[in-house]
Structure formats: structure tokens, C-alpha cells
Amino acid sequence: MKKEEFVQELRQKLSGIPQSDIEERVSYYCEMIDDRMEDGLSEEEAVAAIGSVDDVVAQIMSEIPLSKLVKHRATKERKWNAGMIVLLVLGFPLWFSLLIAFFAVLLSLYITLWSIVISFYAVVLALALTALVSLPAALIFLSTGKPAGSVLCIGAGMFCAGLAILFFLLSTAMTKGIIFLTAKLLLGIKHLVVGKEAA
């Protein structure tokens, strides 16, 4: 790929972010390509060394705060006419409630995800407690002359301890997964905000 194509594609895929940010990034990558070429690389090699445009765009997107993207979109559309403003004002009860609903859904999604994690840890805690308590219970059975009950308690305790460990491993794996998922979700929302711009 030539430098010109790289820059053009980068500009196009970044079209949703503020213009000053685009220019800064583009000049940064241009300088890198020029310096590589000065160092003896061919134009194609110099561009290839930067990586794919999509990778570059993905990293840029993940670094720009969501609030900045939303603000940029909100302030960019200046082509308001009287009719649109009237519609906007009249439609306020509709779009405002939809906006609230959108964020409420997001919030509930978050809460649901974390509730699952919390419930798993609660199970771990319950199992661990049961395992712990079964020990004194076994002793009580033993002291009252019921060895069969004591053995049962010890067995149940060990079973619960095993399950607790298993669930703990499962829970930590799930927490990691959900943290990864929420990061993806945020990136998805950013693309939603920016995506319409490019279309």
C-alpha cells in the first residue's frame, strides 16, 4: 500500500472523531512513514511496518473517551433549520424518554452481568461456610456417641470444600470474561456513535 492510500483510508475510517485529532494522528503516521523511507525502506515496506489501518483505528478508538465522541457528534451538526428545532422540541417527550430507556437498558445489562458474578461468589462463600461448620458438627456427633453422624458430617464437609474450590475457579474465570465483555461493549457503543457519521 502506498502512503497516500494509507492516509486516505485512515482519514475515512476516523471521520467520526474531531478534525483536530484526525490531523494530529495523520501527521504523526506520515512522519513515521517518511522517516522509515529515509532510513532506506521502500514506501510499501514503510507503510506495512505501521500495521493495518483497522488495527490503528481500533487502538485510536479505544483511547478516545466516549464523552468526547458524543460531544463531537452533538456539536458538529450545525445545519439546524426552524422545522427541525420545532420537531426536536415537540418530540422531546419521545426522544428523551427513549434516550433514558437506552441508558437504562445498558445499566441493567451491567447490573445483570455483575449480579451473576456476585451470585457465584455467594455460592462459593456458602459452600466454604458449610465445609467449615461441618467440622464442629462432626465433633458434636462424636461427643454424643454417634460416630455414623460424625463420618457423614466430615464427608459432607469435604464434598462442600471441593465444590467451593471448583466454583471459585469458575467464578474468577467468569469475572475475567465479563471484564473483557464490558470493554467490548464500550467499544461497541463508541462505534455506534461514530458509525452513523461515516455512513
Nearer to other proteins, 19 or 59 (CB): 59
Q: Does 161 bind other proteins (CB under 8 A)?
A: no
Least Å from the CB of residue 41 to other proteins: 11
Stretch near other proteins under the rule CB under 8 A, chosen from 20-28, 95-103, 117-125, 169-177: 20-28
Stretch near other proteins under the rule CB under 8 A, chosen from 48-56, 85-93, 120-128, 168-176: 48-56
DSSP states of the chain: --HHHHHHHHHHHTTTS-HHHHHHHHHHHHHHHHHHHHTT--HHHHHHHH--HHHHHHHHHHHS-HHHHHHHHHHH-----HHHHHHHHHTHHHHHHHHHHHHHHHHHHHHHHHHHHHHHHHHHHHHHHHHHHHHHHHHHHHHTT-HHHHHHHHHHHHHHHHHHHHHHHHHHHHHHHHHHHHHHHHHHHHHHHHHHHH-
Q: Does 7 bind other proteins (CB under 8 A)?
A: no
Least Å from the CB of residue 54 to other proteins: 12
Residues in the site for other proteins, rule: CB under 8 A? 25, 27-29, 31-32, 34-36, 38-39, 50-51, 55-56, 59-60, 63
